[in-house]
Copies of this chain bind each other. A is one copy, B any other.
Amino acid sequence: MEKVNLKGKLALFSDVWAPKVVGELNGQYVKVVKTEGEYVWHHHETEDEMFLVLDGKLEIHLRDKIIALSEGEFFVVPHGIEHKPVAPEGIASVLLFEPATTRSTGNVDHELTIEAAKLDMI
């Protein structure tokens, strides 16, 4: 029953593509993640995923277009849709909202894969 300061949470870590859980409600996690360069193409079979940019630039590459996001902009990737997040300029900070069960790389096994159960809560 404490408030969460997003900038304060982001100051606690520097690793990229490693989401940290900062809140939980209704079976959904609120996460923050730092992003740099390209992630991996993947999709989530049953889970929609929201990306809200807190700082910097993030692109969500879809197979047929690119969604370019700046601070204060969000995009929801519907379940089943292949996507690849890309931070085109330095490090971006992003808030994620998705079910507590969501695996970071969805259907793909990759060195970047983090199982939901192994997420850090900060």
List chain A positions with a Cβ less than 8 A from chain B: 1-7, 23-26, 28, 30, 47-50, 54, 62, 67-69, 72-76, 78, 97-99
Contacts and interface: CB of A to CB of B under 8 A. Distances in A.
A74 B26 contact: no
A76 B28 contact: no
Contacts of A48: 25-26
Contact of A73 (B3, B50, B97): B3
A9 to B, nearest CB: 10
B26 A28 contact: yes
A75 B25 contact: no
Contacts of A47: 26
B28 A28 contact: yes
Given A4-B73, A25-B50, A26-B47, 15 more contacts: A1-B62, A1-B78, A2-B67, A3-B68, A3-B74, A4-B74, A5-B72, A6-B73, A6-B74, A7-B72, A23-B76, A25-B98, A26-B98, A28-B28, A30-B74
A72 to B, nearest CB: 5
9 contacts: A1-B62, A1-B78, A2-B67, A2-B75, A23-B76, A25-B49, A25-B76, A26-B99, A30-B76
